[in-house]
Structure formats: C-alpha cells, structure tokens
Structure 1
Amino acid sequence: MLRINNLQVAYGGIEAVKGIDLEVPEGKIVTLIGANGAGKSTTLRAIVNLVKSKAGSITYNDDELLGLDTTKIVDKGITLVPEGRHVFPDLTVIENLKIGAYMRKDRLDDDLKRIYGLFPRLEERSWQPAGTLSGGEQQMLAVGRAMMSRPKLLMMDEPSLGLAPLIVQGIFDIIKTLNQEGMTILLIEQNANMALKVADYAYVLETGKITKQGTGHELLADESIKEAYLGKSHRKN
C-alpha cells in the first residue's frame, strides 16, 4: 500500500501541496481529480522524488520513499507515466520500450509480447520512430514503456490529455485490464467522469488541499462534483 501523510511541497514561496493525506491500497484504482494547478501532478512527482517535499511522509509497503533516488523507487515497483507522454521521438518504438527496462538484466521477450498483446499497434510500428506516431499511439507507448519495469504500482498523469474520445476509451479499457491483472493504479485525469467510473476510490484536490473523498460511485453521484467537474448543473424541479 502507498500511504501519504501530511505531504507538503512548495515551489519558492508558493505552496503547491498543503499537507495532504491519501492511501492507495494494493490492487485498487485510486484517482485524484481537480482543476489545473491544484497540485495533482506535483503529488505524483513528489512520490518518485522528482520534486522535493517540504514535509510529510510517503511510504510504500511501510518503506519510506522520501529522499530515495528515483531509480531506487522504480526498483521498489513504482513507475510514473508522465503527462505529455515524453517518448524519445528519434528512437524506434522498440527502443523506447527497452529503455523502460534499463534497470533489468533478464530477458525482455515475454514482456514485449505482453505489451504487444495489449497494444497491437505498437508491434505493427515497432521499428518506426516514436516521433512519427499519433498522440494515441504515443500514449500507448508511454504506458508500455512504464510496464517494462514490471511495476506493482503504476501512476498515470493525464493519460487522456489531447486524445480523441475513441482513443480515450481504449486507454481506459487498458487501465481496467491492467487492474484486473492485479496492478495497482494511481490515476490523475482531467476527464473526471471517466476516472470516477473506473476508480475504486477518489480524492478531490483543490489548491493543494484534499476537499472531498469517497468511492468513485459516491463522487459521481455528488451534485457539487457534477457541477464542478462533470459539466452538469443540478436543478430542482
């Protein structure tokens, strides 16, 4: 289980995350929703030590993560799919995938086969430069690259950003499939409706503070959430 207690992150004099607590139980999908600038991405980046935390603790299976080198965090089974995908455009698809396994010393054949099974388009384009892929294909590649480290906890930052609705549905189908196979997922997503539908549990982050939490089903039914994040206003008859 991933546990965050009283996490505080500041950029200069500005507090981006203001003492939040959250848990990601093993085998569950947990989502963090909120407006742009709420501190969602900062939270994920703090977990893998890409930004320094001002205070608090982050533990994974009771091991403290704060202060650990990012590679050691990956070695513990935590991987981040960053916002914007960040594939290596001049490298081929298969080279990008193999970079995801750079810490491994064993054979990669079975993992590549699994990823190609989930994303057949990647196999079709395995020797194509990643920069020539569509946005949806690059997102598939970013997820596949993260999976090559064999994570137990997969963190995804805005996986549907900039993608067509049909591609978005495909990405969420993959999220559900990975979870059904036993992977724990922490999801940040601008599409709150889709995120809450797949999430076992959800947190709402506003200006660096968690203002609401509950099951995905509970927050989908919450009128204030509908009005703020789901594009629906509540009217009494």
Structure 2
Amino acid sequence: MLAALAHIDTWIFDLDNTLYPARANLFARIDHRMTDYVARRLGLPWDEARVVQKGYFHRHGTTLTGLMADHGVDPHEFLAEVHDVEMDVLEQDAPLAAAIAQLPGRKLVFTNGDKPYALRVLDRLGLGESFEAVHDIHAMDLVPKPHASAYAGLCAAFGIEPTRAIFFEDMARNLTPAKAIGMTTVWIDNGSEQGPEVERAHIDFTVHDLAPWLQHIMEAS
C-alpha cells in the first residue's frame, strides 16, 4: 500500500462519473430527463427549463433539492422518472472490480442518487458484490452532498472515523466537506460538469482513471 494511505480503513466512492467514466454519458441521459421533468412540471420551454435546472443544481447540490424547496416535488416520483434510463452504455469493468477487491477495509458507495438506481449501475459494471452498502439520497434525509449533514450522517450510520477514510468523487465541490472533517480526498477528473469557481485546495489526489490508480497504490510502498 502507498505509505500515505496506509492508515485508511474505509474507502468511500461516489457513483456517477466516478465508478464509470464521464465519457460513457450515462449521466447525460439522466440530466436530459431532469430538464424534461422541469419543463413539464413548470410549463417552460426546454431551453428555459435547462437554465432553471442547472441553477438548482449549482445552488442546492441537486436539481431535486431545488424542486422540492420551490415546488413541492415528490422525490420518489422524480427519482423514478429521471433514473428510468437504459444502461447499455456501461460495460463490465473487471479491472476495477479486482482493484476494489484488493483494498483493505470497508468499501461504501455514497451517492446523491437513490439505491435502486445505484444497484442497477453496480450490477451493470460487475461491482454488485464490491461494496458493503449504498448510502443514498434517502439515507441523507434528502439533503444531498455537498451539505455537511450528508457526510455527518454517513459517518454516523457506519461508524466511520473520518481521518481513516478516503472519499472518491468526480464533483470537486463535494470533496470540500469531506476534507473539512478529516477525510483524504480524491478527485476523479474525467470531464464531468463542475460548475463555476471550484476550489482545488481541498483535493489530496487527482486521478483521471480510477482502476489503474487503485492498482498503483496497492503496488506502491
């Protein structure tokens, strides 16, 4: 194990654009369906709905959080609709499964999506048996990353000591609260949408391709 990570006993992974590359464009399908939902619900032209949706995403952490706050949207209805996408752009990732299996300690998924969708993605990637649990948006009481309560709730639910945990995430802003409580942070810089003026000082490692990096740290000394 890489000496700088020898203390880590809990490995926490975001889902979308982290356990699969952003270039797969699976989340782009979900993103499009979210704009469709906003357009229909608010009676807006699609282009205007896109602006509203992105505004919610950047201000609240998720489109859903903004829609709940301003329009009383049912989260179960919204999540079921936007996650109703084909998974054909994802493939089994045997190297990633093997790399995760070698990591010493616990492995968890921490996602602003819901658990049924997360399990579909994991199964498609061949990671269905790789993780102890999925901590989803419902487990966060519908208050998503990057709100501090989401991270506190994760740690409380699984008895995590943050200073012994590492968090992998494609959204750089979602690493800030993790670093604030002592987690080691890894930014998966693979081209996913970031939003304006994202700080980088809270990032310990920047990774472009997850599986080779995990293999590297297990071989290093």
Q: Which structure features the higher share of strand residues?
A: 1
* Superposition TM-score, scaled by structure 2 size: 0.30
Greater Cα radius of gyration, structure 1 or 2: 1
